[in-house]
Amino acid sequence: MSDFDPGIEQITVSVEGAVALVTINRPEKLNSVTPEMSHALEAFAAWANEADEVRAIVLTGAGERAFCAGSDIRTLDNYATPWEFRNRRDYCDALRELRKPVIAAVNGYALGGGLETALTCDIRIASTTATFAAPEIKLGWIGGGGMTALLANSIGASNTALMTMTGDAIDAQRALAWGLVSEVHEPKDLLPRARELAGIIASRPPIAAETAKANLTAAYNLPLAQAVAYERELQGITFATDDATEGRAAFAEKRPGVFRRR
């Protein structure tokens, strides 16, 4: 497998073992995202989905101040019409298409589209310095990358209304209490912990891990009876894989499994 080259310095990708680390690398602008950066994230998602050796992904921001401050507002006036803006390809859309499990290591500001980016990830952990906000309302619009639906699934309707209707920020401890993030760590421990979690997930049978992600998405979108039935079908599919056979054999023989994504 060849490493992925984003083609721009504002997005960096490194692969260690079965874990890809993606860094939004524009710290001087709080890691705000330009259209070119969005295209690079799209290309990464397409590459990662086909890279069998990549089994988990960590997404973070460069520097100490920000995870991602959303879209670079200065680029938004470049769209000729509101309709063109509405139909743009968004980086959150690309990240949602990742089949591999994704961990967000939120190391500072997660604002607007940056909060949506974190919400798009499967697991979110934060540093003690992290700050979360949906500030679009202060500028005259609302989030458009899944902000309200994803927040409501994470923190409930009232807390979502508080964030989206005031635009005010919450700190890491409130985010933890509300269920927006799973863990909070000191800044120096954040990325090591994210890598550790990604390594654990990458060690699991990859078809099962990707199926667990797909099943979680279905659980949010289907009525209960259909979600349970869908899960049963997915269980049957994963049970029939070579990796599941290897998992049962490894359990019986009291040894680590060797999983080949088959």
3-state secondary structure (DSSP) of residue 23: strand
Lowest-confidence region among 70-74, 115-119, 213-217, 243-247: 70-74
Task: Tell me how far apart the alpha carbons of residues 237 and 190 are, in angstroms, rounded to a whole number.
Answer: 35
The ranges of the chain annotated as CATH 1.10.12 are 206-253
Euclidean distance between the first and the last CA atom of the chain, given in angstroms as a whole number? 18
Which CATH number does the domain 206-253 belong to among 1.10.3470, 2.30.29, 1.10.12, 1.20.1070? 1.10.12
Q: Which residues are within 8 A (CB) of 30 and not within 5 positions of it... i.e. 6 or more apart?
A: 65, 66, 68, 69, 108, 109, 111
How much is the pLDDT for 90? 79
Cα distances from 39 to residues 63, 181, 212, in angstroms, run 22, 27, 27
More confidently predicted of 92 and 207: 207
Q: Look up 116 and say whether it is catalytic.
A: yes
∠ CA 21-25-31, rounded to 5°? 115
How much is the pLDDT for 1? 47
Catalytic hit among 16, 42, 64, 116? 116
Q: What is the mean pLDDT of residues 22-32?
A: 96
Of all residues in the chain, what percent carry a pLDDT higher than 70?
A: 94
The ranges of the chain annotated as CATH 3.90.226.10 are 11-202
How many Cβ atoms sit within 10 Å of the Cβ of residue 219? 15
Among 49, 59, 94, smallest CA distance to 195 is for: 59
Catalytic hit among 136, 186, 196, 233? 136
Which CATH number does the domain 11-202 belong to among 3.30.300.30, 3.30.750.24, 3.90.226.10, 3.40.640.10? 3.90.226.10
